Structure 1
Amino acid sequence: MSLNLYFLRHGETIYSQTGGYCGELDPELTPVDVEMAEAFAAAYRSLPWTAVFVSPMKRTLATAKPLCDSLGIEMQLRDGLREISYGKWEDQTVEFVKQNYQDDYLRWLTEPAWNAPTGGETAVQVASRASILIAEIEENYSTGNVLVVSHKATLRIVLCSLLGIDLGRYRDRINTLVASVSIVKFDIHGPSLQVLGDRYHLPEHLRNLPGT
């Protein structure tokens, strides 16, 4: 048997709708997200879960809660799964950042692996802290299904790191819509992407919603 990591992005927040920068901010989920989280739980509770690791933010906790409650699984919180910090860009629009932090913004667009949002984190820093959890999982769980609930940028960076994709291209090569699931299998050959950004566990009226 192999180890299967299920990477679940949290559901919708107001920032998912507006596209504003939200990393360290801790917004509540929208009512739509609650329904998304319940849909995930209904579709995936039949799997034999080994463990559930969650970013300690309101939006990720609420996304994992329906599954954990239905199965009696305890969430294991890890700071390494937090969203990337956008520093001074937090709670701002793209237009505001372009006007007020133009040089930093252009550097970040060009090479986000090594250039951070003003006062925020680089992709390399996020990959470094998240890799601690991945190593912990690999060490403690050689087989089974492990759920990891995190955020858009963090998940894209983790997936690039696991798959050998340049971290500077995480925004160009990987997309994970709200409430989507990506699956990576670990076997003797290392990590292998099985599913990317799947949302077929959502009912059609939620699956077809535009999401960022």
Structure 2
Amino acid sequence: MNLYITRHGETIWNKEGRLQGWKNSPLTEKGVMQGKMLKKAVVEYGIARVYSSPSERAALTARFAVEGLDIPIIFMEELKEMNMGDWEGRTLEEIQNEETENFENYWTDPFKFKKNTGEDFSDILNRARRAIDRITSENKDSNILIVTHGVTLKALMSFFAEGGFIEYWKTPVVKQTSISLVKFDDDNTGRIVMYGDTSHHI
């Protein structure tokens, strides 16, 4: 089995540098095009099924990716972005100025990050683990596309990274609708063989 994992297309709040979390912001024209370009990857990699966050920006990206193809989309609450509570809708600059220490912990020492009305990193990792367990149990020999979000994508990938979540969290954030690949060996061990590939954007 191969898990191809992607991030939704660009949104207005992405351009404005605002955290989205469980709130939503519409796809930009570029975001729509990114979703449509994903279709090339879906065909090339022989995707049999798509699992997607139900958040509008991810759901639309998933629908663009399989438009006109007979490929089912399964929506999973577990694939939603980390709930950022009262940080949602605010710019990174605003948060950094008002909650400097907690903002720094979020980026550099995530398990010291203190949640407000949302989730912390233990919450998102537990949720991502449930998603991986379900998807891998339902699919043994298929090529699967997962459409999710920046933090959730890192949480999902970190289960297959040698350094675990802390080290993987420090890797660059992938571009929208790039493809990361976890390949499963015969003994059902997953390993990361691609991270943030955008060759289908051409």
Query: What is the TM-score of this pair, normalised by structure 1?
Result: 0.86
> Matched residues in 1 for 2:114 and 2:76: separation?
22
> Matched residues in 1 for 2:135 and 2:109: separation?
29
What does residue 93 of structure 1 align with?
Answer: 91
Greater alpha carbon shift after TM alignment, 108-117 vs 175-184 = 108-117
Q: Is the 2:105–2:112 Cα contact (8 Å) retained in structure 1?
A: no
> Matched residues in 2 for 1:171 and 1:141: separation?
27
Write the mapping of 1:4-43 to structure 2, written as runs, cut at 5 A: 4-43=2-41
What does residue 194 of structure 2 align with?
Answer: 195
Cα drift, residue 83 of structure 1? 0.5
Q: Percent identity?
A: 27
Cα drift, residue 112 of structure 1? 1.1
Q: Is the 1:101–1:118 Cα contact (8 Å) retained in structure 2?
A: no
Displacement over 4 Å in runs of 4+: none
What does residue 206 of structure 1 align with?
Answer: none
Q: Please state whether the residue corresponding to 2:147 is helix, strand or coil.
A: strand
Cα drift, residue 117 of structure 1? 4.3
Q: Is the 1:124–1:167 Cα contact (8 Å) retained in structure 2?
A: no
> Matched residues in 1 for 2:112 and 2:84: separation?
14
User: RMSD of the TM alignment (CA)?
Assistant: 1.8
What does residue 182 of structure 2 align with?
Answer: 184
Q: Is the 1:53–1:76 Cα contact (8 Å) retained in structure 2?
A: yes
Unaligned runs of 5+ in 2: none
Greater alpha carbon shift after TM alignment, 117-126 vs 69-78 = 117-126
> Matched residues in 1 for 2:182 and 2:31: separation?
24
> Matched residues in 1 for 2:134 and 2:115: separation?
29
Write the mapping of 1:55-70 to structure 2, written as runs, cut at 5 A: 55-70=53-68
Q: Please state whether the residue corresponding to 1:45 is helix, strand or coil.
A: helix
> Matched residues in 2 for 1:60 and 1:191: separation?
24
Greater alpha carbon shift after TM alignment, 145-154 vs 128-137 = 128-137
> Matched residues in 1 for 2:115 and 2:174: separation?
20
Cα drift, residue 74 of structure 1? 2.0
Cα drift, residue 36 of structure 1? 1.1
Q: Please state whether the residue corresponding to 2:32 is helix, strand or coil.
A: helix
- How many matched pairs? 201
Unaligned runs of 5+ in 1: 204-212
Q: Identify if the C-alpha distance between structure 1 residues 143 and 111 changes in structure 2 by more than 3 Å, giving closer, same or farther.
A: same
Residue identity in the other structure for 2:4? Y
